[in-house]
Amino acid sequence: MIPIEHVFRAVETPLFWLGAVTAAWLSVCSVYRLLAGIKVWVLGNGKLVSPATLGKWAVVTGATDGIGKAYAEELARRGFSIVLISRSQEKLDEVSKAIESKCGVETKTIAADFSSVNIYSKIEDALAGLEIGVLVNNVGISYTYPEFFLSVPSLDTFIDTLVNVNITSVCQMTRLVLPQMAERKKGAILNISSASGMHPVPLLTVYSASKAFVDFFSRGLQAEYKSKGIIIQSVLPFFVATKLSKIRRATLDKPSPERYVAAELNTVGLQTQTNGYLPHAIMGWVTTALLPASILSRHMMGVTLSQRARYLKKQKQG
């Protein structure tokens, strides 16, 4: 029988080197992530998002409120001429005049209801001849309140509307703009997904799934067109203080649309998939890397059930 001390001696050296290599690898990975984080969140992408680099015009859907409006304003501030696309011509005119007055750039407006599917020939005609450097696929809708799938009011219509606005619009607008970007070998398409697309959100299931589609669509297209000089980015914000989120007061973890967009644009060209804002990136890392999916799902179910109960109680009281 081999003495136990001989066994220990036999494996001591291999285990030492295994531990040393593992520690070295973890150290290298940690340093790489730290440097990558500094590059993204401290240094940013410099002057990448500019008309000189990408092209004269930026097109923004859902451009009259919230994140879309903030993108239009920030891109105009950077010198882009802006095409604003949204449903209300009155709101479009208001935002257009404000941008022209404040930033001194040219604007165009296109009134289009993305819940319909017969709008894209009109949009295509309006965009003809424009050198489009940036497309922001921002338009989107969510639930009025969290609800079980079969209990969503007017479920049939709701499904069609949400899919048309959140999914079809991204595919169709990309179809219209990508060919001339590919021909020029430059351009950026920013598809606004959501952190709810990173994991299922019960009682917001159709919305969450639609945003997961936007994320996968974006990452697949980036793999296809990266070699052709095109940037296609999936943007996954957590809560931002907008009308859609029903958050009125901005905080550190729930920034204003302007603060969020200014941070997000500095990640373009550096991250294919981004939460866009450092506190959101930390939240994304915690929810995907640290929390088991089952625990996260139970937590989200509790949150949405609570929101549903508050909404229904308020409706009864009203």
As annotated, the active-site residues are 207
Judging by DSSP bridges, how do beta strands 81-86 and 187-192 pair with one another? Answer: unpaired
3-class DSSP state of 189: strand
67 vs 192: CA distance, rounded Å: 9
Say which DSSP state 148 is in.
-
Beta strands in the chain (DSSP E): 57-61, 81-86, 107-111, 132-137, 187-192, 230-235, 273-274
The number of helices, as runs of H, and strands, as runs of E, in the chain is 11, 7
* Among 185, 208, 214, CA closest to 273: 214
Q: Kindly report the three-state secondary structure assignment for every residue of 260-305.
A: HHHHHHCCCCCCCEECCCHHHHHHHHHHHHHCCHHHHHHHHHHHHH
For 81, the token pair is 């001429």
User: CA-CA distances (angstroms) from residue 68 to 29, 31, 35, 169, 222?
Assistant: 36, 35, 31, 14, 22
53 vs 231: CA distance, rounded Å: 12
Q: How many CA atoms lie within 13 A of 21 on its CB side?
A: 6
